């Protein structure tokens, strides 16, 4: 089974600054998808950004971007110009292309934004 590791249980950032959340994964598959989800205190899971493994170009969504290093099996999330509303748990997730497209989640990073 695939595993996803987030080694930073907690991170903090000053408002308007940049922060990078780390994620590594282990897989024997050559093609897959990677995601970052945000979970605010409401518990709702919100998709932040996705990356297809076959694409070399790093995905970007407004203030959110990723650094995808396929050979190193690393998938970090950079949040630029951090806002108070960015405070949440962030989960890295791996999606298999096998039957059912199973998702595997990391343990999460709790991000605090300091005014």
Partner 1 sequence: NAGVTQTPKFRILKIGQSMTLQCAQDMNHNYMYWYRQDPGMGLKLIYYSVGAGITDKGEVPNGYNVSRSTTEDFPLRLELAAPSQTSVYFCASKQGASSYEQYFGPGTRLTVT
Q: Which spans of this chain sit near partner 1 (rule: CB under 8 A)? A: 1, 4, 6, 9, 33, 42-45, 47, 50, 91, 93, 97, 99-108
In the complex, least distance from residue 101 CB atom to partner 1, rounded to whole angstroms: 6
- CA separation for the pair 94, 26 (Å, rounded): 9
**What's the per-residue H, E or C state across 31-93?**
CCEEEEEEECCCCCCEEEEEEECCCCCCCEECCEEEEEECCCCEEEEEECCCCHHHCEEEEEE
| Cα separations in angstroms, 23 against 39, 42, 79 | 16, 23, 14
In the complex, least distance from residue 26 CB atom to partner 1, rounded to whole angstroms: 14
Q: 14 or 107, CB closer to partner 1?
A: 107
In the complex, least distance from residue 5 CB atom to partner 1, rounded to whole angstroms: 10
Q: 43 or 57, CB closer to partner 1?
A: 43
DSSP designation for 15: T
Q: 83 or 102, CB closer to partner 1?
A: 102
Q: 17 or 26, CB closer to partner 1?
A: 26
């Amino acid at each position: 089974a695939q595993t996803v590791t987030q080694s930073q249980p907690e991170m903090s950032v000053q408002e308007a600054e940049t922060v990078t959340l780390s994620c590594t994964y282990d897989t024997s598959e050559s093609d897959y998808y990677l995601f970052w989800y945000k979970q605010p205190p409401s518990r709702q899971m919100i998709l932040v950004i996705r990356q297809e493994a076959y694409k070399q170009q790093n995905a970007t969504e407004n203030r959110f971007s990723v650094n995808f290093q396929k050979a190193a099996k690393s998938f970090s999330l950079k949040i630029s110009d951090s806002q108070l509303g960015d405070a949440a748990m962030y989960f890295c997730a791996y999606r298999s292309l096998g039957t059912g497209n199973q998702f595997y989640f990391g343990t999460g990073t709790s991000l605090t934004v300091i005014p």
